[in-house]
Homo-oligomer: A and B are copies of this chain.
Amino acid sequence: MTIHSPEVLERTVDQVRALIRSGHYAAAAERLRELHPADRAEVVLRLPEDEREDLVAHLDVETAAELFEELDEEIAADLADDIHPERLADILDEMEPDDAADLLGDLPPELVQTLLDEMEEAAEVEPLLQYPDETAGGLMTTAFVALQQDATADDVIAFLRALKQQDADEDVDLPFYLFVIDDQQRLVGVVDLRELVAAPPHTRIGDLMDPQVIAVDAWTDQEEVARVMKKYDLAAVPVVDDQRRLVGVVTYDDIMHVLEEEAGEDFLHMGGVESEPLAEKPYWEQRLWEIFRSRFPWLLLLFVAGSYTGSVLRMFDAELRKVISLSIFIPLIIGTGGNVGSQTVATVIRALVLKEVRPRDALRAWWREVRVAVLLGVAIGALGFVRAALWGVDPHVAWAVSLTIFAVILWASTVATFIPLVASAVGIDPTHISGPLMSTLIDGTGLMIYFLIARAVIPEL
């Protein structure tokens, strides 16, 4: 399969839309069915909402199931709402249990009960509904193969063949890893399919398995699951309950989406946008009102926090009246402090996320950051003196500006090192500390430093 370029997909969207608008629903559905499931989702997302519904109504159950697996669950839930419960239950039966559970989690509770009563695979999906979306339990699938230690390699291959044959029309996904359990369902080992294939036929599973199996608890946060899988290069990780009984498996494809989702959230936080739940929604699907709500609280907080800068300036009203040229440098000084703060906070948060730095390393981290700040402060401070001199202000003012820049850079990197580390120590997610928040916190204190230095350096004050 060649990968479809955005242009080809664009043309497909046009074709599908033309077919829908001329009433050729079956042909439109067929056109969609020919695409890779991931491309189908992209095409459907570009249709207006009413055309989407018309199209989904004409998809066969399996294609609809694959489509719902690819779509974000909120969008899938919007579409599912218009489908007759009996048909929807069939679609849910065809979906991977973890995706089905996610979708059910976004449907109205009355409907969920009707659907579970109707579904054949309800037993696989129901246990998943208890876990929040962002935990190992929410990500895992319950459709896994568990082996007993007494089976032989040959037995298992025969079993896998039978499983495949039996569900030949269902296109069942066999696993790359087979987990081994004891008679209390407790996880005792893992067999890599590659080892199984290469093993002599009569090898006992108990001898072939790796008993050193890395597992996660069902309530583990998805970010931690991703970190473990990435660190240990795992394509799948078994999920256990508090008795170490095997309850599910999380696979690499779930994790690639988690990594992206978490990275997107961190990026938006850094820009000062509260991403929950926007990060999971495609840009064009976000409603104006939702965007407003994701940004307004931050702006409000920053505005209220920032308005103390005005109070600082009012305190130094007399100085400003006497040496009006001091006001020229206000934006430059608070800008520099904010920029250093953003740089430092980005670096420290990044190190925290990767677990390279922990709160107890605070002093060591500060010592690094402050040394960098001295270098930056000397360089930018000197530049500030030149800039002020070129504008022809009084040399005393130029000195005050230059010293302030040096001091503010030191101050900004100190504040920006400690705040995320302290936040993390007291259990606040440090990725919620954005660059703008840091800038705002530094603005007012930076002005205070400015006027105190000006008083000390400028004879008229």
Which residues of A are in contact with B by a Cβ distance under 8 Å?
Answer: 1-3, 6, 36, 38, 157, 160-161, 163-165, 173-176, 193-200, 212-214, 216, 228-233, 235, 252-253, 255-257, 259-260, 262-264, 266-268, 270-273, 282-284, 288, 291-292, 295-296, 298-300, 302-303, 306-307, 309-310, 313-314, 317, 320-321, 324, 327-332, 334-336, 338-340, 342-343, 345-347, 349-351, 354-358, 365, 368, 371-372, 375-376, 379-380, 383-384, 387, 391, 434-436, 439-440, 443-444, 447
**Residues of chain B with a CB closer than 8 A to A355's CB:** 6
A9 to B449, CA, bound (A): 43
CB < 8 Å: which of B3, B264, B267, B383 contacts A228?
B3
CB < 8 Å: which of B213, B256, B257, B271 contacts A346?
B271
With a 10 A CB-CB cut-off, give which of A329, A339, A376, A434 has the most chain B CB atoms: A339
Check B194 against A173 for contact (C-beta < 8 Å). Answer: yes
A232 to chain B, nearest CB (A): 5
Check A299 against B176 for contact (C-beta < 8 Å). Answer: no
Known interface pairs A230-B260, A271-B343, A375-B288. Does A332 touch B310 (Cβ–Cβ under 8 Å)? yes
Known interface pairs A310-B332, A327-B313, A336-B306. Does A435 touch B174 (Cβ–Cβ under 8 Å)? no
A356 to B195, CA, bound (A): 41
Question: Of all chain B residues, which has the CB nearest A262?
Answer: B263
Check B324 against A306 for contact (C-beta < 8 Å). Answer: no
A447 to chain B, nearest CB (A): 7
Check B309 against A335 for contact (C-beta < 8 Å). Answer: yes
Check B443 against A331 for contact (C-beta < 8 Å). Answer: yes
Q: List 26 A-B contacts (CB under 8 A).
A: A1-B214, A3-B228, A163-B198, A176-B176, A193-B193, A230-B257, A230-B260, A235-B252, A252-B252, A252-B256, A264-B350, A267-B350, A271-B347, A272-B343, A284-B357, A296-B375, A303-B332, A313-B330, A327-B330, A331-B331, A331-B443, A331-B447, A334-B335, A335-B443, A342-B434, A342-B436
A160 to B343, CA, bound (A): 51
A199 to B383, CA, bound (A): 72
CB < 8 Å: which of B194, B309, B317, B340 contacts A331?
B309
Question: Of all chain B residues, which has the CB nearest A383?
Answer: B303
Given A264-B350, A283-B365, A298-B343; 19 other pairs, CB 8 A cutoff:
A3-B228, A36-B232, A160-B194, A161-B198, A176-B176, A255-B256, A263-B266, A267-B267, A267-B270, A271-B342, A299-B336, A300-B379, A309-B335, A310-B391, A317-B324, A331-B331, A338-B338, A339-B436, A435-B435
Known interface pairs A198-B164, A328-B310, A331-B309. Does A346 touch B296 (Cβ–Cβ under 8 Å)? no
A249 to B3, CA, bound (A): 17
A303 to B298, CA, bound (A): 26
A335 to B141, CA, bound (A): 47
Known interface pairs A3-B214, A259-B263. Does A298 touch B339 (Cβ–Cβ under 8 Å)? yes
Check A288 against B368 for contact (C-beta < 8 Å). Answer: yes
Check B161 against A197 for contact (C-beta < 8 Å). Answer: yes
Check B174 against A197 for contact (C-beta < 8 Å). Answer: yes
Known interface pairs A176-B176, A259-B260. Does A232 touch B283 (Cβ–Cβ under 8 Å)? no
